[in-house]
Amino acid sequence: MDAADPHAPEGSGRINEASLSREPGLHTWLVGALAIARYHGIDLDPTTFRLDPATPVPSPAVLVEWVREQGMWAKAVRLKWQQLLRLESSGPVMLLMKDGGAVLMVEADASRNVVFVKEPTVSGAGVAVPVDELRLSQVWEGEVVMMRPQRNEEEQDTPLSFGFLTKLVMQERSILRTVGFASLIITFLTIVPILIVYSAVQRVIEYGSMSTLLLITIVLVVTTVLDAILEHARGNLLQVASTRIDAKIQLFVFKRLLSLPLDYFERTQSGVIGQAIGKVYQIREFITGRLLSTFIDASMLLILLPLMFFMQATLAWTIVAAAGLIMLVIACFLRPIRVLTGRLSAAESRKFSVLVETLHGIKTVKSLALESARYSQWDEFVAQAGDVRLQAGRLALWPATLTLPMQRYCQFGVMLLGAYLAVISKNAAEIGSLMAFTMISMRVAGPLIGFTKLMQDFEDVRATMGEAQAVLNNPPEIRGIDRGLRPAFAGAIEFDSVAFTYQGSQRPALNEVNFSVPPGTMLGLVGRSGSGKSTITRLLQGISRDYTGFVKIDGVELRSINLRHLRRNFGVVLQENFLFRGSIRDNIISGRAGLTMEDVVRAARLAGAEEFIERMPHGYDTFIQEGSPNLSGGQRQRLAIARALIVDPRLMILDEATSALDPESEALVNANLKRIGAGRTMVIVSHRLASLVDCTAIIVMDQGKVLDVGTHPELVERCSVYRMLWLQQNRHMTDNQGNTRHGSPTPVLAQGD
Ligand SMILES: Nc1ncnc2c1ncn2[C@@H]1O[C@H](COP(=O)(O)OP(=O)(O)OP(=O)(O)O)[C@@H](O)[C@H]1O
């Protein structure tokens, strides 16, 4: 059947490569993504999309990754025609074609069995044409890319709370509903044998009816088997639900953690953070385990309790009274337990911090033989935590001990009382009733006690939640990450009356800083320790944003720039750079989409890393361990430079990048600086002035202020602080070469390479 619209322009129902008009220079998929984004009122920056020249068709994963990096929600899925017809989407979706092209599906009409598609154009212009399954299947194999804006600010900024976690749990309501339904049937299956016992036992005993006994046995066996099957199925479903909830919580926690600003991590011990993250899992266990099962049990109570009252009201009242007493005892202990739980948690955090710190600093610990000092500290914190744990444990024993008689009563005492009541009533029918009641009370006692204990657990979890919230609910920097301008950078930097004071500090780290440099500048930053050099680079990267004055890049105030965009345009190399576990190639790419082996080689060559990589046993595939012990400091640094350079950033920061290097490695990196700096603005912080003599401009910082700006010769001439630093370093170098201590600087040294 040809489903093409008769009013559509001739031939417009055909989709083939020829009909896919491509935006000049842009891949069709990219045009499609830009068009969908534009439909949602978002402008994506296509220049940030990198495509492997060897493979002109990117993978859907690469495209999706790029769209996500740009701050939108995106997903690539495989759909069948029927699913496509039912697709609920608040905008166009992109169908990826077999030939590498794409069309946008703007509407689906299930009644006519057609979808409306149009060619992707950035402007969004073009006529949508209806296409049927047969036609589409000739060019489309089912690949679809869906995109939409991040739902709303709330979605990204959702803080951790019971409400939020409950919402996550409720997302699994279809499973939970089934679980609830299964629970009701299980309860029913529990009641059936009880009712049979209730009504039939007396007859069996009175009339010696063996056939009734056999029937009861068969019914009991059948209900038990059914019960077991249903319990198993319910357990299975609960496992599925809790695994899914668990995965969502883990994703949430990690995302939330990554969204926290860097200075938060600088202020907070990693042990405290690690401990708080661990706590979230305790809360999850509570919600998906104890809470869920108690509520399921509670539904059972709703049926069983009335039944108990119906059978034996006196005994039922005693059980309710026992449960009430248990609740009262636990309620009395809640407050003191909460206090001790809080103290225990704090003590555990301190202990954990020592462990994490020791592991992080293990090189220092070993090399300075600090093992015994660290051990004593650990010993002290273990003792403190043990002390509080003992107190907490002892206190928790009390409610357990005091409630034990009531628990035992619910399980066994009720039987004795029932027997007594049966005996004094002298009614044989009471025996059946008593047996049935006892069976129910066994079933009821557990959930009743569980319900009361839930209060105690909830107190624990509330304390735990407080700790996790103290870490995860810190204000994220995500707002800046996903919002703001995305200007194309040339690289001009301007500081206009910038002042900045670190949180908790009295003295400003930067005070009335003013300077501006044009694009392509190689800017050196020098000054005594603590003069504010690194702070300038932090401000430039948007790490610290609560400064006064204006920091502008190409005239755009930094706080109005999208943070992700800003950082993607910065290449940053620090004194200590962390290399991840993985191959050299993976480390240079660092998971960024669309980068190829050619990019890796180009970056490595520019960073001066190519020669040592090629000498390694597996070249670019050489595996780097965590902390990269198999690389020298110089090699690590050059890899870090390559990693920063691979995206060809317009601005680059080298913060003491060569300070820890041996002279040979330093000379190697410095020799490449000019090449590295070609076509981009470089900000180089260095204590070694020899690395900076080629800079177009050097800023001399002193106590958070700009003391002078000039070239190396100018500063030697007129800036006393710079001259002093220069002479200090130069004397040292000349000494090494056996020259006179008071000799003037030599031009050779000044080249630094
Ligand atoms: N995270 C921080 N929290 C509080 N104060 C800080 C922080 N980082 C730096 N400072 C303070 O801010 C001032 C400037 O520090 P900054 O690191 O910018 O100096 P620097 O010139 O780069 O020093 P160095 O050459 O030693 O690295 C110093 O007084 C320092 O103590």
pLDDT tens digits for range 576-594: 778 888 888 888 888 776 6
Q: What percent of the chain has pLDDT over 70?
A: 86
> What is the pLDDT confidence band of residue 653, given thresholds at 50, 70 and 90?
very high
- Rounded Cα distance between 636 and 660, Å, is 11
- Rounded Cα distance between 266 and 264, Å, is 5
As given in the structure block, the two tokens for residue 45 are 């920056």
Atom number, ligand 1, closest to the C-alpha of residue 685: 22
Average pLDDT value for residue range 374-392 = 92
> Other C-beta atoms within 10 Å of 228: how many?
12
Residues 588/647, Cβ–Cβ less than 8 Å: no
Region for residue 121 given its phi and psi (left: phi exceeds 0; alpha: psi -120 to 50; beta: otherwise): beta
Residue with tokens 């399921």: 296
pLDDT at position 562 is 81
The 10s digit of each residue's pLDDT in 33-62 is 888 888 888 878 777 776 655 565 678 888
Q: Measure 510 CA to ligand 1 centroid, in angstroms.
A: 10
Q: Mean pLDDT lowest for which of 9-23, 427-441, 486-500?
A: 9-23
Q: Ligand 1 — pocket residues by CB below 6 A?
A: 266, 502, 505, 509, 527, 529-535
Residue whose CA is at the smallest distance from ligand 1 atom 28: 530
Residues 640/577, Cβ–Cβ less than 8 Å: yes
The 10s digit of each residue's pLDDT in 68-101 is 877 788 888 888 888 888 887 778 899 988 888 8
> What is the pLDDT confidence band of residue 735, given thresholds at 50, 70 and 90?
very low
- Rounded Cα distance between 535 and 509, Å, is 7
Is a pLDDT exceeding 80 seen at residue 150?
A: no
Average pLDDT value for residue range 347-372 = 85
As given in the structure block, the two tokens for residue 683 are 């900000």
Q: Answer positive or negative: Cα dihedral of 693, 698, 703, 704.
A: negative
Q: Mean pLDDT lowest for which of 179-183, 233-237, 342-346, 682-686?
A: 179-183
Atom number, ligand 1, closest to the C-alpha of residue 504: 4
Atom number, ligand 1, closest to the C-alpha of residue 538: 18
Residues 463/428, Cβ–Cβ less than 8 Å: no
Average pLDDT value for residue range 113-129 = 81
Is a pLDDT exceeding 80 seen at residue 131?
A: yes
Q: Measure 477 CA to ligand 1 centroid, in angstroms.
A: 21
Is a pLDDT exceeding 50 seen at residue 165?
A: yes
Q: Measure 703 CA to ligand 1 centroid, in angstroms.
A: 10
pLDDT at position 596 is 80
Q: Which of 65, 83, 84 is nearest to 75 (CA)?
A: 65
Q: Show the domains of the chain with their CATH numbers.
A: 17-149 (3.90.70.10), 162-472 (1.20.1560.10), 577-648 (3.40.50.300)
Residue whose CA is at the smallest distance from ligand 1 atom 7: 502
Average pLDDT value for residue range 320-336 = 86
> What is the pLDDT confidence band of residue 20, given thresholds at 50, 70 and 90?
very low
Q: Mean pLDDT lowest for which of 185-194, 373-382, 464-473?
A: 185-194
Atom number, ligand 1, closest to the C-alpha of residue 532: 18
Length of the chain: 753
> What is the pLDDT confidence band of residue 383, given thresholds at 50, 70 and 90?
very high
> Other C-beta atoms within 10 Å of 437: how many?
28
Average pLDDT value for residue range 264-277 = 82
Q: What percent of the chain has pLDDT over 90?
A: 10
> What is the pLDDT confidence band of residue 1, given thresholds at 50, 70 and 90?
very low
From first CA to last CA, the distance across the chain in angstroms is: 75
Instruction: Name beta bridge partners: 634.
Output: none
* Longest Cα separation, the chain: 123
Atom number, ligand 1, closest to the C-alpha of residue 263: 1
What ipTM does this complex have?
0.96
Residue whose CA is at the smallest distance from ligand 1 atom 11: 509
- Rounded Cα distance between 375 and 381, Å, is 10
> What is the pLDDT confidence band of residue 18, given thresholds at 50, 70 and 90?
very low
Instruction: Name beta bridge partners: 496.
Output: 550
- Rounded Cα distance between 157 and 127, Å, is 39
Residues 6+ apart with CB under 8 A from 593: 50, 62, 65, 66, 69
pLDDT at position 7 is 39
- How does DSSP classify residue 364? H
Q: Answer positive or negative: Cα dihedral of 719, 720, 721, 725.
A: positive
Phi first, then psi, for residue 706 (nearest 5°) are -85, 120
Residues 286/295, Cβ–Cβ less than 8 Å: no
Average pLDDT value for residue range 275-303 = 76
Ligand 1 pocket: which of 263, 266, 505, 721 to mutate (most atoms within 8 A of CB): 505
As given in the structure block, the two tokens for residue 273 are 């953070």
Residue with tokens 């003037």: 744
The 10s digit of each residue's pLDDT in 385-419 is 999 999 988 998 898 899 888 888 887 788 788 77
- Rounded Cα distance between 634 and 627, Å, is 14
Average pLDDT value for residue range 199-208 = 69
Is a pLDDT exceeding 90 seen at residue 276?
A: no
Residue whose CA is at the smallest distance from ligand 1 atom 2: 502
- Rounded Cα distance between 745 and 742, Å, is 9
As given in the structure block, the two tokens for residue 208 are 């010696």
Q: Measure 508 CA to ligand 1 centroid, in angstroms.
A: 10
> What is the pLDDT confidence band of residue 3, given thresholds at 50, 70 and 90?
very low
Q: Measure 656 CA to ligand 1 centroid, in angstroms.
A: 13
Residues 6+ apart with CB under 8 A from 431: 201, 202, 205, 422
Residues 478/671, Cβ–Cβ less than 8 Å: no
Q: Measure 494 CA to ligand 1 centroid, in angstroms.
A: 21
Q: Measure 709 CA to ligand 1 centroid, in angstroms.
A: 20
Average pLDDT value for residue range 348-372 = 85
As given in the structure block, the two tokens for residue 524 are 């050196």
Q: What is 690-736 written as a DSSP string?
A: GGGTT-SEEEEEETTEEEEEE-HHHHHHH-HHHHHHHHHHHHHHHHH
The structure's pTM equals 0.67
pLDDT at position 478 is 54
Phi first, then psi, for residue 729 (nearest 5°) are -70, -35
Residue whose CA is at the smallest distance from ligand 1 atom 24: 529
Average pLDDT value for residue range 537-560 = 89
- Rounded Cα distance between 47 and 401, Å, is 69
The 10s digit of each residue's pLDDT in 699-722 is 999 889 998 999 999 998 888 888
Q: Measure 718 CA to ligand 1 centroid, in angstroms.
A: 26
Q: Measure 136 CA to ligand 1 centroid, in angstroms.
A: 62
Mean pLDDT computed over every residue of the chain: 80
Q: Answer positive or negative: Cα dihedral of 63, 66, 70, 71.
A: positive
pLDDT at position 523 is 92
Residue whose CA is at the smallest distance from ligand 1 atom 17: 534
Atom number, ligand 1, closest to the C-alpha of residue 701: 21
Ligand 1 pocket: which of 262, 511, 533, 684 to mutate (most atoms within 8 A of CB): 533
Q: Measure 708 CA to ligand 1 centroid, in angstroms.
A: 19
Atom number, ligand 1, closest to the C-alpha of residue 507: 29
Q: Measure 482 CA to ligand 1 centroid, in angstroms.
A: 28
Residue whose CA is at the smallest distance from ligand 1 atom 31: 530
